[in-house]
Every structure is written in structure tokens, then in C-alpha cells.
Amino acid sequence: MEVIAKYYVETDLSIEKAAEAIAAEQSTGTWTEVEREKLTSDLAARVVRAEGNFAYIAFPEELFEPGNIPQYLSVVAGNLFGLGDLKKVRLLDVIFPQTLVLAHKGPRFGIKEARKILGVFDRPLVGTIIKPKVGLSPEETAVVAGQAVRGGLDLIKDDETLTDQSFCPIDERVVAVMAELSKVEDETGKKAFYAVNVTCGAEEILDRAEDVIGCGANMVMVDVLTAGFSALEVLSRGVKVPIHVHRTMHGAFTRDRHHGISMVPISRLVRMAGGTNLHTGSYLGKMAGDMEENDQCRDALRDDWYGLRPVFPVASGGVHPGNVRPNLEGYGNDCIVQAGGGVHGHPWGTTGGARAMVQAVEAWKAGSSAEEYAKSHKELDAALKFWSS
């Protein structure tokens, strides 16, 4: 069996020569002849196809240490980015054989399990990020979280930059937020996740997650590209709550459509490592991605894949009630649509913004335009007028 990697390449070489250079650099080759190379030919990567700007490279499965995602990346996304003959190169996708996929357990909590906890089965989930991004005390954070859930939201999350700073200690924050969410649930029956950002060093991350769960947290969050895929995998195997995965720093890899790494292999690795939700880009918003790439991420997270549980794609970044529809048309029912400023910036405040987001999702589910639905839903009507001005 082989691992097949697809690359986009810009070079003055022929695409065939460029593909051969990638295959050599990432497997058994070196810049000068070494006699021992003759003994390792069975481990050499090979060019499957090279045409236009695209190269497909097959790597023998034996090159990979099963269960070791950092090592996988060193093969398919290693020194090739530094090859002088390649002006640009982008890892577009990786197809892993069953043995490597199943060396990982995948999500402990997938879409089905997360929905069961919330008791929400028939619509997309709706979430928000606490705003301002940082600076609120634990008590202030709890107030904002409670306001959002009173408006009907399913998920509240920390910002990617908020961890355990002195102005908002993580244990105090969790206790305050979960107490407020419990109060809201008692009053309204509405359940919600609070994704607590436990991102930190490798030696501490599991202990930190266990500590916040002991304080009542029902979901944890990790910045997977700064903490590492192994950190996510440690959390997935070690904690018994769902895991929200943020992709902060992804633009360093994904923004240049002709260089770096696309979100598609990142999506595959997050599913293997055990995330429940993953930010994959919006179809419309300030961080809107390439629609075809969004589609591929969606499918990588949700399609049948050797029995691994499916993962929620998350649309976020500049999302508000007025652009919910194109995001749901792209991701479908099994997704999370998430708004920060698009909730808290509502002219009637956080609860009004939350209700407007929920109403926008309801309009999509009912097959109605947001404008038509807004005629009988005042929060949505106010939102559409506010964000269209």
C-alpha cells in the first residue's frame, strides 16, 4: 500500500522533473550520489502522474511510522518547500491507506455523540465566541455566555488567544461560566457546550484539560496548529468530553493558493487525531475560503472513512445573520455556523444577536429567504437592516 500526496507546483523545470525532485527529497534521495541508495530503492517514492502544475507522488507505506502524525508530515510536507528549483509548491491533499488511518482512533465524540448531548438532531448547530476577545473577568465572561445561550445558541467558545491569563484564570472562568449555563438551562431547558481553551505545552495539556473538566467543563478546545496534532490526540484519548479544534495560524500555510498546505490534509489529520469540531472556513465572510477547498474539507470530515466518526465543519469569521444561508448551503445540516461580532454586535445586544442567528438558521431549514422570515422575526429583521447598511 502507498500514501498518495497531491501537490501544486510552479517551477522552471518540467513538471516531470519537479515531481521527481519532490519524490527523491521526501524519500530516499539526496543531492549527491550515495552508494547505500541502491539498497533502499524499495522505499523510494515514485511519481504517479505529473501534468500541468500538478504532481501526484506515491510514498511506500513503510516510510511511515503508524500512529505518528508528526512523522507523516515530515514525509509529505517536509523539506520539499525549501527546494530551490520549486518557485511554489502546495500540498493539496493526502490519501492515506486504511492501516495508517486506523492506527488512530479518531473522535471519541463525533457529530452523533455531540448532538445527543445537546438533544439537537434536526438542524445545524449555532455558536459564538466570547467578545471582546480578551480582557473580560471570569464573571463578565459568564454574563456574556449566559446571554448568548438565552438567545438559543448551542456552543460558546473561548477565543484562541485566551488560555489561563491572570485577568481571567481558567478555573475561575470555567466555574463561573458553567454555573451561569446551568442557571440558564434550569430556567429555559436549553443545553449548551462551553469550549474551554486548554492550549498549552505538551507536558501540561492533558492535566489542564482534566482540571477544567473537574471544574464542570463539558467541552475543551485546542489550537491544533500551535499545540500540534499530537496534543489533540492526547486529549482525544484522555478526556471524556468533545473537543473543539481551532485552526489559528492556518493562514501561514493556507492563504497562498499556490504555496503551503491546504486545509484538506489538515482536516484529515484532525479527524484521525480525534477532533469533534474543526474550523474549516466560511463560504461567505471575512475569512471566506475557496469554495472547492471548503467542499473537500467538508467531505474529508464527514464522508465514510474506515469507520472513523464524522466531524462537524465550522463556518466562522465574519459570519452574521445576513450571510448564514450561503454557509449552510455549502456545509449542509451537519455543521456549526459560528459568529462572534455577528452575535455581540447586534443592535439589541448579545441575546438579540443570538436569536437572530438562530432565526437565520430556521429560515434556511424552512426553505425561506432570510428577508421573508424576518417579516415575522424581529431580531432577524433588525440584524439584516443593521448589517446591510
Which triple of cell numbers denotes residue 143? 454574563
Give me the count of residues in the chain. Answer: 389
Tell me the three state secondary structure of residue 8.
strand
Which H or E run includes 150? Answer: helix 138-150
C-alpha to C-alpha distance for 210 and 278, rounded to whole angstroms: 21
Residue the block writes with cell 462572534: 340
**Residue among 6, 104, 131, 244 flagged as catalytic:** 131
Catalytic annotation present for 246? yes
Residue the block writes with cell 467543563: 217
Question: Is 113:104 a contact under the CB 8 Å cutoff?
Answer: no
SS3 content of the chain, % helix, strand, coil (to 5): 45, 20, 35
Catalytic annotation present for 131? yes
C-alpha to C-alpha distance for 227 and 242, rounded to whole angstroms: 17
> Cis omega before residue 132 (within 30°)?
yes
**Residue among 6, 104, 157, 246 flagged as catalytic:** 246
- Strands across the sheet with 260-261, in order? 46-51, 54-60, 2-11, 86-95, 260-261
> Where would I find the beta strands (DSSP E) of the chain?
2-11, 46-51, 54-60, 86-95, 125-129, 155-157, 193-197, 219-223, 243-246, 260-261, 277-279, 312-315, 336-338
Cα angle: 158, vertex 110, 338; to 5 degrees:
35
Tell me which residues are annotated as active site.
Answer: 131, 246
